[in-house]
């Protein structure tokens, strides 16, 4: 079992920055690939970014590439999502997810490949 707890959400003006954190606990955290997904009101959950278990490989949705950065601190089992140049369309509930399943390439983008999920943290970007 892996437990994930997101924090750092809030209200920010367009163009601003925010950093989300995902505190992970559990026996398999160190071998887990981690991802961030988001869900806006009335829309389906969508992939934002992911990082592999070692931290060497990262993946980004085109909509956030160049603005968002994912990182992980293996010493504290924390995954971060640094968001910059925020836009109103980034408004959503952001979820942290993890899996120990083998992933490669496009498989990181699929939510059904992740086994554990946090409860989410709300991000609101005002115009």
* Residue 105 in this model has a pLDDT that exceeds 90: no
* Residue 104 in this model has a pLDDT that exceeds 90: no
pLDDT recorded at residue 107 = 92
pLDDT digit string, tens, across residues 57-98: 999 999 999 999 999 999 999 999 999 999 999 999 999 999
pLDDT recorded at residue 111 = 94
pLDDT digit string, tens, across residues 18-44: 999 999 999 999 899 999 999 999 999
Distance of CA 109 to the CA centre of its chain: 11
CB distance 110 to 97 below 8 Å = no
Among 7, 12, 10, 9, smallest CA distance to 125 is for 12
Q: What is the 3-state secondary structure (H, E, C) of the chain?
A: CEEEEEECCEEEECCCCEEEEEEEEECCHHHCEEEEEEECCCCCCEEEEEECCCCCCEEECCCCCCCEEEEEECCCCEEEEEECCCCHHHCEEEEEEEECCCCCHHHHHCHHHCCEECCCEEEEEEC
pLDDT recorded at residue 62 = 97
Across the chain, mean pLDDT equals 96
pLDDT recorded at residue 102 = 86
């Amino acid at each position: 079992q892996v437990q994930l707890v997101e924090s750092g959400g809030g209200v920010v003006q367009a163009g601003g920055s925010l950093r989300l954190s995902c505190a992970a606990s559990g026996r398999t955290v160190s071998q887990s690939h981690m991802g961030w997904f988001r869900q806006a009101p009335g829309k389906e959950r969508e992939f934002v970014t992911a990082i592999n278990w070692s931290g060497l490989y990262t993946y980004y949705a085109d909509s956030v590439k160049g603005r968002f950065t994912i990182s992980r601190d293996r010493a504290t089992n924390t995954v971060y999502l640094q968001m910059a140049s925020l836009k109103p369309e980034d408004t959503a509930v952001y979820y942290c997810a993890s899996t120990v399943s083998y992933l490669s390439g496009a498989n990181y983008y699929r939510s059904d490949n992740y086994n554990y999920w946090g409860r989410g943290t709300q991000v609101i970007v005002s115009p």
